[in-house]
Structure 1
Amino acid sequence: MNKIKKNKLWLTVVGFGIVIVIILSLILLNQNKAKPESETISFQSSVKASSSSQKNRDEENQKKYAEKAEKMKGHVFGIGTKAQFTNWNKQQFIEWAHQYSLLNEENKHNASTNFGTTTTISNDSLDTSALDEVAKSVISNDFKSISYFETVKDFNKAYPTVNPDDIKK
């Protein structure tokens, strides 16, 4: 009887020991799963899927924008980072550039124009570079540097990610 009690005690201690070892093993396993190294693969696959999805959306948008641009009429002139429709054609830009280049220095400082848009560009009393650069580019037939496009389609080719509906009228 004494031997059975000792064995029960021994079996109980061993049983508790096994349960504790199992619990500690499970805790350690959970900690290993929570390590950044184990999450990296999952994160990378998530980023790839998101990137692929965004790329597909961008391509679809570019196709839509190209279709819209094909149907739209007008000339586009870029002022700073904004694109605007202009009622000027290339010939009007060339005529303006030649007239501007004939101005004396004093008149150049007070010059301003809107290039057929709703925004006016002016030289100030100290700096004539705003209009000088446009005139030089037009005279040298470099319309790309002043962001002038004869058609919305040409604008879309240069900026395929810009929605043509966002061009200011």
Structure 2
Amino acid sequence: MWLTVVGFGIVIVIILSLILLNQNKAKPESETPSFQSSVKASSSSQKNQDEENKKRYAKEAAKMKGHVLCTGIDDLYYTTWSKNDFRNWANNYNSLSKEQKTKASSNFGTSNTRSNNSMDTETLDVRARNILNDDFKSLGYFETVKDFNKAYPRIDPSNLQ
């Protein structure tokens, strides 16, 4: 009888040990090394893809001609205006009366028109001041697509409108 009780006890202890061992294998901590290696592989793959994109965008930008006006990540435009055209516009704009400035607008050589009476966050006054201060960087103006690509290597230059 004692042997039967001891035998059942040993079997129960073995079963409980196996259940406990399976639970330990299912814990997230036991999966950490495989998860970390998966994250590293994914990160490495993304980094390689980013580098390939940068190279492709640089080659593409080197072939493209024209001036670029970048007023935001989604507002990328070819512009027909040179720096001199911007300076002429700024001088003409500053010669306007206050009432004329309120109604003023310009497309800056792009397909998009900006005006003082719109909901734009940057008024034409600020743009004119920056142009006259030779601050074309804050205007988002680039003389070449290659210059634009140097400033924004992760943006596909084919997105220019």
Aligned length: 159
- Taking the aligned partners of 2:43 and 2:91, their CA distance within structure 1 comes to 49
1:144 aligns to what SS in structure 2?
A: helix
Residue 92 of structure 2 corresponds to residue 99 of structure 1: yes
1:62 aligns with 2:54: yes
TM-score norm. by structure 2 comes to 0.90
1:29 lines up with 2:9 in the alignment: no
Q: Cα RMSD between the aligned structures?
A: 2.1
Instruction: Indicate the larger mover: 80-89 or 107-116.
Output: 80-89
- Residue by residue over 1:78-98, the C-alpha shift from the partner in whole angstroms, topping out at 9 and shown as x without a partner, is 123311111111111111011
Question: Matched residue of 2:138: which SS?
Answer: coil
**Structure 1 residue ranges (4+ consecutive) displaced by more than 6 angstroms after TM superposition:** none
Q: How does 1:1-169 map to 2 (within 5 A)?
A: 10=3, 13-81=5-73, 82-124=75-117, 130-168=123-161
Please say which of residues 83-92 and 72-81 is displaced more in the overlay.
Answer: 72-81
Q: TM-score, normalised by structure 1?
A: 0.86
Once residues 109 and 51 of structure 1 are traced to their aligned partners in structure 2, the CA distance between those partners, rounded to angstroms, is 50
Shift in Å, 1:15: 4.4
Distance 1:164 1:128 in 2: 25
Deviation digits for residues 21-54 of structure 1 (CA, Å, limit 9, x no counterpart): 2222121111111222222222222111111111
Q: Percent identity?
A: 64
- Kindly provide the amino acid, as one letter, of the partner of residue 112 in structure 1: S
Q: Greater shift after overlay, 77-86 or 152-161?
A: 77-86
| Cα displacement (A) at 1:133 | 1.1
- The answer as to whether partners of 1:74 and 1:85 remain within 8 angstroms in 2 is yes
Contact 1:94 / 1:139 at 8 angstroms: preserved in 2? yes
Unaligned stretches of 5+ in structure 1? Answer: 1-5
Separation in 2, partners of 1:132, 1:52: 46
Larger radius of gyration: 1
Distance 2:72 2:155 in 1: 15
Paired amino acid for 2:111: T
User: CA separation of 1:72/1:128 partners in 2, compared to 1, >3 Å: closer, same or farther?
Assistant: closer
Structure 2 alignment gaps of length 5 or more: none
